[in-house]
Amino acid sequence: MIDVQKQVWNIMKIVKEANTTVTEMERTILKTSINSQVTNITNILGISEDLQYLVQSNMENQTYQVQYMLADELDNYKGQGNQYVNDNIQEI
Q: pLDDT per residue over 19-36, tens digit each?
A: 888 888 787 777 777 777
Residue in 7, 76, 1 with CA at minimum distance from that of residue 89? 76
CA-based end-to-end distance of the chain: 105
Domain of residue 47: give its range. Answer: 2-91
Number of domains forming the structure of the chain: 1
* Range 56-70 average pLDDT: 77
* Range 5-21 average pLDDT: 81
The pTM (predicted TM-score) of the whole model is: 0.44
For the chain, give the mean pLDDT. Answer: 76
Give the list of residues 6+ apart from residue 89 with CB closer than 8 angstroms, or none: 74, 77, 78
Whether 79 contacts 86, CB under 8 Å? yes
Query: What was the pLDDT predicted at 25?
Result: 79
